[in-house]
């Protein structure tokens, strides 16, 4: 059982995106979130482990895993290149975020650099990429990033004979022209990969952190920024509470999704039941008011996890000190914790 009265209880919750995950990708997604969860938990268990380090390293593991739609494994935008976003923050409003990162394997490290090395919160586009080089983050060719699902998209275009859209294709996939959304105004289909992975966690001292990374919606218009790097929409933390959202970014922005669930948590006495109810109520509100599709993970002031989504599936994993089950992972609606 979770130790609800503990003041030094560590915990972590991870998600790998809320969308219509196909059957053949279920095990890969579950393995990826389990790995990220365990990496973060091991940091939290160490004598010097901090929430911010645990959140960052958990995200880094998912940025390397092509099963997820972030960094390595991202999909090209409508202009034929990658634009990556990330955010990392703690409960004391120390925030760093980037948008429109190109040719970098770990956008979360660049966001951490913004947080730790500047007085800014969000850097975008060319400036964000210049900052990445300034702090020593090495560029990588797109061939290291366009793998898995992203590479399959390029190959599918080749096989479909879209030669006009593949003019200028080089071995590193630069400047590939893709068909944009068939419906520019409106949501992409629910079977489009979600554009975010996220982590919330709590360390031994009660500090919390939130971190997210994304490759964005496949075939998005160049320059599009979703919820991930936007404080309050993609991620939010206040004091001992934290939340991270996932799904269709435009609707998550409208709902100020992450802050809204934290607001709910702050109105409740901390418990397993209330943490889960707050997440479920927020997702229900998100669907009814905004017709939004997505999910949320959160922790309350005692590290109790909240997990909810209204898409067909969302890969998630969590571990709370004192829970004999260790790392618990799920992907279906019926896997959501019930108290």
- pTM recorded for the entire structure: 0.90
85 found inside a domain = yes
- Write down the pLDDT at residue 11: 99
DSSP state of 147: -
Instruction: Tell me: pLDDT of 180 over 60.
Output: no
pLDDT tens by residue, 233-253? 999 999 999 999 999 999 999
Distance CA(59)–CA(111), nearest Å, equals: 12
Q: Is 248 annotated as a binding residue?
A: yes
Please report, for the domain that includes residue 199, its CATH number.
3.60.20.30
**Residue 258 phi/psi, 5° resolution?**
-65, -45
312 found inside a domain = yes
Q: What is the mean pLDDT of residues 322-330?
A: 97
- Write down the pLDDT at residue 174: 43
Q: Is 125 annotated as a binding residue?
A: no
Instruction: Give percent of the chain above pLDDT 90.
Output: 77
- Write down the pLDDT at residue 142: 85
Q: What is the mean pLDDT of residues 159-163?
A: 54
Instruction: Tell me: pLDDT of 46 over 70.
Output: yes
258 found inside a domain = yes
Q: What is the mean pLDDT of residues 176-197?
A: 54
Task: Say if residues 150 and 75 touch (Cβ distance below 8 Å).
Answer: yes
Instruction: Tell me: pLDDT of 173 over 80.
Output: no
59 found inside a domain = yes
6 found inside a domain = no
Q: What is the mean pLDDT of residues 277-290?
A: 98
207 found inside a domain = yes
- Write down the pLDDT at residue 194: 58
- Write down the pLDDT at residue 170: 34
- Write down the pLDDT at residue 40: 99
Q: Is 225 annotated as a binding residue?
A: yes
Instruction: Tell me: pLDDT of 184 over 50.
Output: no
Task: Say if residues 103 and 140 touch (Cβ distance below 8 Å).
Answer: yes
196 is catalytic: yes
For residue 303 the two structure tokens come to 């590290």
Q: Is 261 annotated as a binding residue?
A: no
- Write down the pLDDT at residue 164: 46
Instruction: Give percent of the chain above pLDDT 70.
Output: 85
Domains contained in the chain, number: 1
Instruction: Tell me: pLDDT of 93 over 70.
Output: yes
1 found inside a domain = no
Q: Catalytic residue among 35, 196, 214, 228, which? A: 196
For the sheet containing 328-330, what is the strand order?
122-124, 95-101, 84-90, 208-214, 197-202, 11-19, 313-320, 328-330
Q: Is 227 annotated as a binding residue?
A: yes
Distance CA(242)–CA(305), nearest Å, equals: 10
Instruction: Tell me: pLDDT of 87 over 80.
Output: yes
Task: Say if residues 193 and 314 touch (Cβ distance below 8 Å).
Answer: no
Domain ranges, residue 290 = 11-335
260 found inside a domain = yes
Strand partners of residue 245: 296
Q: Is 294 annotated as a binding residue?
A: no
């Amino acid at each position: 059982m979770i130790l609800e009265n503990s003041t030094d209880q560590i915990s972590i919750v991870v998600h790998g995106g809320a969308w219509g995950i196909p059957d053949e990708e279920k095990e890969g997604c579950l393995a990826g979130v389990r790995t990220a969860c365990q990496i973060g938990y091991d940091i939290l268990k160490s004598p010097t482990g901090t929430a911010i380090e645990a959140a960052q390293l958990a995200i880094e593991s998912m940025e390397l895993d092509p099963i997820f739609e972030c960094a390595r494994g991202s999909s090209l935008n409508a202009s034929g290149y990658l634009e990556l976003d990330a955010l990392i923050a703690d409960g004391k409003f120390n925030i760093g975020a980037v948008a429109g990162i190109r040719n970098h394997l770990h956008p979360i490290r660049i966001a951490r650099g913004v947080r730790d090395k500047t007085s800014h919160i969000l850097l975008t586009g060319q400036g964000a990429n210049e900052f990445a080089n300034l702090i020593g983050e090495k560029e990588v060719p797109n061939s290291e990033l366009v793998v898995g699902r992203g590479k399959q998209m390029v190959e599918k275009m080749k096989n479909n004979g879209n030669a006009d859209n593949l003019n200028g294709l080089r071995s590193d996939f630069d400047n590939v022209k893709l068909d944009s959304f068939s419906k520019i105004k409106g949501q992409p289909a629910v079977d489009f990969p979600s554009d975010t992975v996220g982590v919330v966690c709590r360390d031994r001292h009660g500090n919390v952190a939130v971190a997210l990374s994304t490759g964005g919606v496949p075939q998005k218009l160049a320059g599009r920024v979703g919820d991930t790097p936007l404080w309050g929409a993609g991620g939010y933390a206040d004091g001992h509470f934290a939340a991270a959202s996932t799904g269709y970014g435009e609707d998550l922005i409208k709902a100020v999704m992450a802050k809204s669930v934290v607001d709910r948590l702050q109105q409740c006495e901390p418990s397993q039941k209330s943490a889960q109810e707050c997440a479920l109520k927020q997702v229900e509100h998100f669907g009814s008011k905004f017709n939004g599709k997505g999910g949320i993970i959160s922790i309350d002031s005692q590290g109790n996890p909240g997990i909810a989504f209204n898409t067909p599936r969302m890969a998630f994993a969590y571990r709370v000190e004192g829970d004999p089950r260790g790392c618990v992972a799920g992907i279906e609606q019926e896997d959501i914790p019930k108290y």
